[in-house]
Structure 1
Amino acid sequence: MYSLLIADDEALEREGLELMISRMLPDTFRFYHAENGRRAIQMAEEQRPDFIFMDIKMPGIQGLEAVREIAARTPETPVVIITAHDYFAYAKEGLALGVREYLLKPARKEEVLELLKKLIREAEEAKRARNERLELQEKLSRLLPLAENELSLMLMLECVQEIDLTQLAGMLNLDWSKGYAMVLSFSRQTSKEWQTFQLVKKEIYEAVKQWCKPTLSCIVSPILGHQLALFVPFPPGRPAYTQRMMALEWGERLRSQAVERFGVPLSVGIGSVREGWEGLGRSYREAVRVCSEDQEYANVLHYNDLEESSGRMTLPPEEEKKLLDALLRHDKQEAAERFNRWYDRLERQERLFPHLRGEVISLLLYLNRTVRAGNGAELVSALNGFEDSRSLREGALREILTWIDGLREEKERNRTHVLQRALLFVAERYKEDLSMEQCAEYVNLSPYYFSKLFKQRTGENFSDYVTRLRIEEAKKLMGKSQHLSLKEICYEVGYKDPNYFSRVFKKSAGMTPTEYRQQNGI
């Protein structure tokens, strides 16, 4: 049911209009009456009617003045002016105030009915649009935490796909050019600490979001194993060193609050400020490297401090690339040698074991992302389970060699699948005018590569394979269908020239089609 406010200084006009509408549209409206402009403003604010019929000429506050007040307070309410005066000036001013329609006294029933139906249709459409908008907002509010989790995990696990990241960032209204990562690592040194963390980790996650998001406008990742990451935008115009000090202050604040509120020891690692999504992923890797349960100098450490104090980079990019190249070439021996040399160099730097483990996790996440070898979260969990240098080395190398086996198997499966599709395509089309280029295009390979793969897998080149299928089919037709002439068989198996068919048949079978029939008594 809708509500309608009728504002007119004449009671008979109000009651007559109500009676007319009630008869035309029974059980549709609840009516309110106002005898002047002041009362109309009060009723509009108190009752919030769906529609208002307003007389222009009333004592005290005039109709248009009342419309102006109502439009300022409830601009969404449609107002219809009722007047006995067809004045252009009224119409012009009313339009400026947002008046929807005009009715001239005495209003005709058909005119009133049509107007009300129009207003109801518009109200229904507006209500439908509003409900859809609210549903969309509700769905979006549920999706936003998922989008934030997805974005943070893609950065943490090196799943950097520019389009997906940009779309997720758009959903979250993020427009960053620079930023850095902060990793919170909760202690696992004793079983008691680990059990305590497991009991309160959901509360910790919610608390970190409440502490950080309003001020830092950051992305908060889900807890992965015993670590949680923040991705923080770098405010434009702020000096890098100032930002570095602020990040360290925030890290110390979070560490203190986690200890005081939850009794859980916490170490914080902070990466350097970098540009773009890939840069944020690299900053996360830096934060992982310096974030440990047993830091030598501080429980909160910035990657730049570590680099400045050590005087050298922890992992030259060219070593990453050489190891990755060996992995992609499926060279187990070279990959193992390069990894072991890299690992030996790290051990000689006399790093604490958590630092060493952070370096290994960082390297394998990079390799895992590039070769798409598996689940990054499971990889981090597995590597975090090693508590000494020897088992960490063996476990990491085992992962790398397993990836090489997996890449080989995947390559073999892909080749087998491609060949199976090609052979099925040939089996369906060999009786037609079929070319190798058509088959290569069907399996989405270049003709040169397809030719090499086909010969390697079947032992025949493409044309010889098709010829063999055609000749074998011709032999079957000769045996099954003695009434078919050789010319008809020639056309049936895909040849257009009987003479050419005869030459090909002789080359393949060692005799002409006629001789073959005579020899086999067919």
Structure 2
Amino acid sequence: MYKVFIVDDEPFIIEGLYDIVDWSMLGMEIVGYAENGCAALEALTETPTDILITDISMPKMNGLELIRQIRQLKPELKVIVLSGYDEFAYLKEGMTLGIENYLLKPINLEEFQATLNAVHEKLNASRNDEALSEYSIRILRDNVMYRWVCNQIEEREFRERIDLLGLQIDKPYVLITLCRVRTASSDLLDLIEQSVDSIERLSTVITFQDTDGDIILLFNFDDPGEGRLESAELIDELSEKLRDLDVQLSEGSVESLEDGAHLSYENAKKAQEYFLIYSEQTTIRFDELKSPATSSQLAAIDWDESTRLLLARDREELFALIDQQFAYMGEIAGVTPLFLQDMALEWLVRFKMQLQKIRYAEEPRLIKEGYDQIKSAGTMEELVIIVKKMAEMAIDVLNGDVKSPIVQQVLSYIRVAYNQDLSLKTLGNTYNIHPVYLGQLFHKEVGESFTEYINRYRIEKAKELLKTTHQKVHEIARNVGYWETGYFYKQFKKYVGVSPKEYKGLG
């Protein structure tokens, strides 16, 4: 959003400017105000500002002198003058100082908004003409690299984008390492990039952030053996430097550049899930999760079919597949109890990853309960029972199989009426239940508050509309249930990390 600063010696003018314009809809926000030129000049030296709206006649320093002095500090600042005096001399001097418009009080709202829109367009054009800022480069890099490791971008477009970004990815092998921090840190990416830059011997290493907020390190190298050693060195150094942040580092698999980046990324994500089991570790490597002797055997399991049956909520067929796969593995000569336990854990991790993709929420109970039971199982039959139990738990979660019918009704109602004015009070009246009790029950059974759930649901719907329609942001806000556009912007930034306009432009 573009930042606006207001200067006027009449407080009611300042208050009026706050109220008469929907600033967020214009892509602007008021970042400060002052009642005289001296105070404004002092504040403007410390406050990032794109647009200055100032009166002419003020005590201590008039508006024209303020413009003259601030131009020396911020020559690109856009200025709109408000004045109660229809004086040609003022207008002439203002024009020489490069103002956008000279508006007479009382303000004509239509003319004022037209001026703001024109300024907004100029600022946009100015930004487009400039070199990409560090922030916008990061947004573009994150988007391009994430789409690549998810197999969502064509090779030609990918090459064009990384050339624009100055990235070089042309060596035959890739390895992806994922960094997830359990302690909040806004500068984690900067810390990691500094660590990477400090190790001159490294081959190509590119850092970016995925949509889950995880930091991704992409290693690109000529020799798999040397590449593994270099990545291991960096991982060890990162683990040491970031130990106070409670960081979890998971390494994927070495794959070919041509078609394997998404596999390495998926395997790094999968290895990350095992921290729920091996919580005392700081680093987990995908290739160490299973011995080489059993890798091909695990790969023989039809995981795509298991995913399909889980998503179809087909208990009977999923249970039959579990029976079939364990029976097959049990007949392999030399199979060990440890391998069968690893196989059972593989099922649990895949159940959890599917739930997380669909529900945008963690289901740690699935792994924690299953892990303890698997490790104490004495026979293969017991393992089969445990995996089936976890499969049933996963299906129940997908079905929204909560204990109380009232919460099921509320969830169903949200899905069809999320764009209406929903609150615990209105829902309590609808379903004849006290809103406080309903809120407690909802939080207990859904795992988050009603407000968090409805905001998250609406933002997901807004993301769909931003990508699939040409509606304006304020229209989308209303269509998903936000009547105040400013509040919608705030919630969208909270859940997505970027503004609606930035998200729409990610492509």
TM-score, normalised with respect to structure 2: 0.38
Flag the structure with higher helix content: 1
Choose 1 or 2 for highest CA Rg: 1
